[in-house]
Structure 1
């Protein structure tokens, strides 16, 4: 008995586009930009030629998938949910946990993004996402501005810089930097303070 591929119902172009992007994102996590159109078609349950009915090139599909995968909205919503009445250290700890988790989850996608030539809309989306994340972090930190010797925006930049380097850099060690440790590093530094009154 012949094993036939299950037929996928016809979709409108925008629905087909969204379905192909949804099928591509997990493959980017696994294979990076080296994912093949054959793998994408198989994951989406369509013929390989179907991809080119809605995307001009494999690269355009990969770029759209990277943009979708790196959508900051879930992280922005979680940052917005942090209670601004909590002490600064608690807010910063929770924010660091969220940023660490986002960077760790998207490490392979970010590596894929770096391999792509991000131009036009893709580049604009990436810049917009970074700005939105920075602004959301600044908003979490702002109620404690009078406790800091740097502006909330500068502290947000330092947190993003540290989390990014810790996730993607050659000296990173994400397992040893919890949100609490990261907040302490930013707020307390590394010196042991003895006998302070």
Structure 2
């Protein structure tokens, strides 16, 4: 197997182990999952940390989410686009919550890696820009800019996935779309009906 193929195979074997064990995953576990001798790891990676950083970056690749956001039909009414975007973003955050926390610890604290930090920042910006695109067709109908609307959607999804008051199992993209687009106060006509 060529070195690049071996690297790719080790990264693929490491990703599920990171979800299961976090940064405590051992090179022995990785080698076993990849079906190679433990020493093979160090033939293509300088250290366990390098393998883990490469695996985290691969696991947190935003491309599938970005592609799904780009596939939301801009002709769909705004409420439907926002609900779909919220579901996609929230799903990404909840599926990768533990790994994102581990990545921050590793890349910013344990083994600071400026290149990985820059890649993470670029991924966050790409995700923000993709959500901005969901709001942009209806920018004239919003009280805030599409950029601000995207930030609010991302903040809510992040708080729900990572925060102490989150309810990940109860999340509804439709509810978030309603909150962002309508607020929580009854309109005068609705209030009169009560």
Using structure 2 for the length normalisation, give the TM-score: 0.93
Following TM superposition, the consecutive aligned residue runs of length 4 or more in structure 1 with deviations greater than 4 angstroms are none
- Render the CA deviation track for 1:163-189: whole Å, top value 9, x for unaligned: 011101111112222110111111111
Aligned to 1:33: 23
Paired residues, what number?
187
Partners of 1:16 and 1:138 in 2: CA distance: 38
Partners of 1:194 and 1:176 in 2: CA distance: 29
Q: 1:24–1:40: 8 Å Cα contact kept in structure 2?
A: yes
Listed as ranges, the gaps of 5+ residues in structure 2 are none
- Where in structure 2 are the equivalents of 1:35-184 lying within 5 Å? 35-118=25-108, 119-184=113-178
Partners of 1:148 and 1:177 in 2: CA distance: 24
Higher helix fraction (1 or 2): 2
Partners of 2:183 and 2:57 in 1: CA distance: 35
How much is the aligned-residue C-alpha RMSD, in angstroms? Answer: 1.3
Q: 2:31–2:37: 8 Å Cα contact kept in structure 1?
A: yes
